[in-house]
Amino acid sequence: MFNTFKTKTEVAGSEVHRFGTKSKALDFIVEFMKKEGIADAPGFYAVWADCSFLKGVDAKALANKIPGLKFEVTRQLAKDCRIGITQMDWGIAETGTLVQDATAVEQRLASALSWIHIALVATDKILADMPSVMTKIHPNQCGYIAMISSPSKTADIERVLAIGVHGPERLVIICVDELGGMN
């Protein structure tokens, strides 16, 4: 399932990384933020929307380590951020799609306004296709279901592909086995 998912997302222009443990994933994210020059200044923030991944992570220490990393996602911070980090609830292998209950507005601000969207997902939450995911997530429980399958793109000018119109230019998907077993 993971391999199909990886192939499809990469074809659509996303980057996929897989880690066995949360701590390995976290190391990667920290390194990534450093490389991207995250700093405590407009345009260089990283916003991390609340998610289960953060359970057991010392957020305060992490924020101290990386000035500019914010765990409070406001309209203004999201507007001025470079990286937005959210955790997605499900994956769809067939189309390389991530699915999230995005009823909480922070989830949407972080993933829609950033230049780089880092999307965390438990590897075993990747299911075969949309009908499978529809059995897991339902509008009766969620006011806003968000499906994300690639960076923001357009071909509205002469059918030429261009990346990063209104949303992120990069979608970096991090699959973590430890969050939900092997797949």
What's the min distance (Å) between Cβ of 139 and other proteins?
4
Type of residue found at 106: E
CA 155 to chain centre: 23
Spatial separation of the C-alpha atoms in residues 95 and 92, rounded to whole Å:
6
- Give the x/- contact pattern for other proteins in 9-38, rule: CB under 8 A: ---x--------------------------
Pick between residue 30 and residue 149 the one whose CB is nearest to other proteins.
149
What's the min distance (Å) between Cβ of 4 and other proteins?
10
What's the min distance (Å) between Cβ of 170 and other proteins?
12
**Binding residues for other proteins, total number by CB under 8 A:** 49
Pick between residue 46 and residue 77 the one whose CB is nearest to other proteins.
77
Strands 162-163 and 153-154, bridge-based pairing: antiparallel
First to last CA, the chain: 7
147 lies in the site for other proteins, by CB under 8 A: yes
How many residues in total does the chain contain? 183
Spatial separation of the C-alpha atoms in residues 169 and 164, rounded to whole Å:
4
Type of residue found at 45: Y
- Give the x/- contact pattern for other proteins in 61-100, rule: CB under 8 A: -------------xx---x--------------xxxx---
Give the dihedral sign, CA 113/116/121/123: positive
Q: Please pick, from the candidates 122, 168, 170, 176, the single residue that binds other proteins as defined by CB under 8 A.
A: 168
Spatial separation of the C-alpha atoms in residues 127 and 44, rounded to whole Å:
34
Spatial separation of the C-alpha atoms in residues 67 and 81, rounded to whole Å:
13
Which window, 46-54, 120-128, 146-154, 173-181, contacts other proteins (CB under 8 A)?
146-154
Which residues of the shown chain bind other proteins in the complex (CB under 8 A)? 8, 12, 74-75, 79, 94-97, 102-106, 108-109, 112-113, 130-131, 134, 138-140, 142-160, 162, 164-168
